[in-house]
Structures are given as C-alpha cells and as structure tokens.
Amino acid sequence: MSDHEATEESSQESTDLRDRNVHGKPLQPCGRDPDTGYLRDGHCRSLRRDPGRHEVCAVLTQEFLEYSKSQGNDLTTPRPSLNFPGLNPGDRWCLCVPRWAEAHEADCAPPVVLDATSEDVTDDISLSTLESYAAEEWGDLP
C-alpha cells in the first residue's frame, strides 16, 4: 500500500476510530520508526476491522520478543514482502491486546506508553495494571 493509499484509508476509517488514550485524552503517536499501528500511521488506534486489536503501545524488551517468538509470533525477523522491518528491544510497537495480556500472565509484559495506548484496552486490562507497567515509570521513554 502506498503512503497516499494509507492516508486515504486512514481518512475513510475516521468513523471507526476512537482516538482517546487510557486517560481519556487525545491518543498520542506510539512510533514512526518503524511505522506501527494497524494502519502503519504510528497510532495504536481501536478499529472495528482490526481483528488483532493492535491497541497497546509498548516499548519492546528482549524478554518480550523472546516470549512472543516462543508463542509463534516472531517479531524480530524482517519480512520485506509484508513491509515488516523486524523489531528490536527499545522499539515502540502497537501490540495486540490479547498478546500483551498473555505476556503479563507469563511475567514478561513490556512497558506500556499510556498516552499512546487506546482507551478501549481498559475493557480487557485494568487501568491499574497498565499503570503498573507505565514506560514513564520504567524510564524507558526518550
């Protein structure tokens, strides 16, 4: 998908977006290098058509990347055919809500950037749990 098509698609999806973070404030960008989010627009938006629910903005850790790979989701290997660069510790990435919750249960969930995490995540993960993983508290934000 070209940048123009992605922008056009993002505009057309505006009625599907809930652009509020877990604190009810405007959703902030998660990351642009690499581009993240279901629409690859840098935001962890809640979209009706995103079955994976890529709504948790996380600062990736080596431990989480190894866990994800052990669960069958290798996020470190580049896949050029999918325009996927492969991820590294320290990258910010929009994670699927269920995957982050699984990692939390396995004691290896990565820190969360609360201002860039969709408010809809709190339907499945308590705000207090998310706050205990706040990247700001971990010193993982630039």
Q: Which domains does the chain have, with CATH numbers?
A: 19-138 (3.30.56.110)
- From 52, 35, 34, select the one nearest 118 (Cα to Cα): 52
Q: The pTM is what?
A: 0.83
Strand partners, 62: none
Residue 34 phi/psi, 5° resolution? -80, 160
- DSSP category for residue 125: S
Q: pLDDT tens across 85-136, in order?
A: 899 999 999 999 999 999 999 999 999 999 999 999 999 999 999 999 998 7
Q: pLDDT tens across 30-80, in order?
A: 988 888 888 889 999 988 888 889 999 999 999 999 999 999 999 999 999
Give the Cα separation of 73 and 70 in Å (integer).
7
